[in-house]
Structure 1
Amino acid sequence: MELSETDSTNIYAMTHIQHNMATHGSVFFAHRQWAGKGQHGKKWVTEAGQNIIMSAVIDPKPLIQGQQFRLSVAVALACYDFFSRYAGDETAIKWPNDIYWRDRKAGGILIENQLRGQNWQWAVAGIGININQVLFDAALANPVSLKQITGKNFDPVQLAKELCTHLDIRLSQLQNGSFEVLLAAYNEHLFRKGQVIHLKKGNSRFSCTLSGVNEAGELLVENGPSDRFQFGEISWIIA
């Protein structure tokens, strides 16, 4: 469904789920949103009509509660597949699910879940990818768009359709039990894998070497205060 504007495509999708008006594969694309959500309660700020702003409704079965990271891997890989097709092999997935080009953020993913008791009923994957925007909010430290990378203008609606095709492929792999294959691909394209990275935990800053991500979604490192970190436990310091 193509929307001229909405507060948040994730909120719009969740509302449709609650009213039994959405099914697996429903996608809501907006040309403008004014209350977009990012990770940790941050706002996702984007210029109207210039980017991909969409939310996909996903039936997570056969996954169960506690396996949310598996879905995150599939969605992140779909975004990587799409973006790298245009931006090339300097594209990477920054743990847990940002899309980076070199050291700059090109897109982000926010997955929200609807639970009923212990049952994982639905997931909504909100995806924002910078396409034609060239001027960004000064508060954003390191954004980049496809236009800045390639020098070309694109049709965000057409590109969103291409992204949906990649999403279908990766979700089919996940539902067919190929998570090990997906996790291997995720680690292959992991931002700064094998390099020294800089992290922050509370008031402490430290450096360590990134070795990968395990099936539980933990960031695995060497020469740090711990050998693994969970999502939300640390934050990146991008030089």
Structure 2
Amino acid sequence: MKIIKLNAIDSTNSFLKDLAQNSTLENYTVAITEDQTKGRGQQESKWVTAPLKNLTFSIFVKFNKLRINQKRYLNFAISLAIYDALLEKKIDKISIKWPNDIMAANKKICGILIENTFIGDRIKNSITGIGLNVNQEIFPEYLKNVTSLKLEKGFDFNLNNLLNDILIKIQEKIKLLENNEFDLLENSYLNVLYKKNIPTMFKNCQNEIFIGIIYGISTDGKLQIQLEDDSIKEFGIKEVSFL
């Protein structure tokens, strides 16, 4: 595994994408920065992080037989890797909020952005960006419901050790993916899915508020919500939010 350490960069995902276009990258190449100035989240949202306090890195992974219609399992694998790493740190009440935010109780502690390159009907490779709040204690006021490992546990974490722990977990979960352990990944993901089986208030993209129960994940990765009339409706990213 090759780890590229950067003092500052706009986006580690963008850095690895440019590198992959201009050279042959070793599998599991990692780019990590002390200061990410233009971090990106889902649907072009921003990921804001304080320099030298957190983990902001991206990892390049090659695939030989993973099909596009199986990409939800990649999301399950990466999310579970972060979840398992934090579980070992005894972070209380952690869960995965669809599609791949990591929560500590009701506060976001980690964001994940997966960007894939396709060839035919297969995923050729993926670049996964991970932003984990580690030792940061003060966040901008406009960032609501966020937390960090230090806020949860009360002490500083060693960033290098934490990175190594997470990379080991990612490799373990990718191995499950490559061994076609799809049911195991899906069941493990659903077992720790935020608010699953709990009546919850949602808001759709028309700003309509409704009550539903998270039922599962569809074959194309959409969130399935059981409505009050027992029907199941599917929502894509940014089509529904929690209240």
TM-score > 0.5 by shorter chain: yes
Which residue of the other structure, out of 228, 231, 234, is the alignment partner of 2:233? 228
Q: By how many angstroms is 1:222 displaced?
A: 1.9
Give me the whole-angstrom Cα distance separating, in 2, the residues matched to 1:180 and 1:14: 30
CA distance in 1, matches of 2:11, 2:54: 14
Measured after TM superposition, the shift of residue 207 of structure 1 is 1.2
Match of 1:159, SS state, is: helix
Please point out which of 68, 75, 99 is paired with 2:102: 99
Partner AA of 1:229 in structure 2: E
Give, in whole Å, the separation in 1 of the partners of 2:124 and 2:201: 37
Match among 135, 159, 165 for residue 156 of structure 1 = 159
TM-score between both structures, scaled by the size of structure 2 = 0.92
| RMSD across aligned positions (CA) | 1.7
1:115–1:122 Cα contact (<8 Å) kept? yes
Alignment correspondent of 1:114: 117
Structure 1's unaligned 5+ residue stretches are: none
User: Displacement, 1:118?
Assistant: 4.8
Summarize deviations over 1:214-233 as a string: whole Å, max 9, x none.
44323222225851323225
| Alignment partner, residue 60 of structure 1 | 63
Under a length normalisation based on structure 1, what TM-score does the superposition of the two structures give?
0.93
Q: Return the alpha-carbon distance in structure 1 between the equivalents of residues 138 and 145 of structure 2.
A: 12
Match of 1:165 in 2: 168
198, 210, 215: which one aligns with 2:214: 210
1-structure distance, mates of 2:85, 2:144: 23
Deviation at 1:84, TM superposition (A): 1.6
Q: 1:140 aligned to 2:143?
A: yes
CA gap of 1:58–1:223, structure 2 versus 1, over 3 A, is same
Q: Distance in 1 between matches of 2:156 and 2:128?
A: 25
Q: Which amino acid aligns with 1:235?
A: V
Q: 1:42 aligns with which of 39, 42, 45?
A: 45
**Aligned residue pair count:** 238
Q: Measure, in 2, the Cα distance between the counterparts of 1:103 and 1:190.
A: 12
Deviating beyond 3 angstroms after TM superposition, the runs of 4 or more aligned structure 1 residues are 116-119
Q: Which moved more, 1:83-92 or 1:228-237?
A: 228-237
CA–CA separation in structure 2 for the residues paired with 1:99 and 1:143: 10
Could you tell me how far apart the structure 1 residues matched to 2:228 and 2:32 are?
41
Q: Which moved more, 1:169-178 or 1:211-220?
A: 211-220
The CA deviation at 1:197 is 1.8
Separation in 2, partners of 1:67, 1:80: 21
Which stretch has the larger CA shift, 107-116 or 145-154? Answer: 107-116
Q: Does 1:198 align with 2:190?
A: no
Identical amino acids, percent of aligned pairs: 29
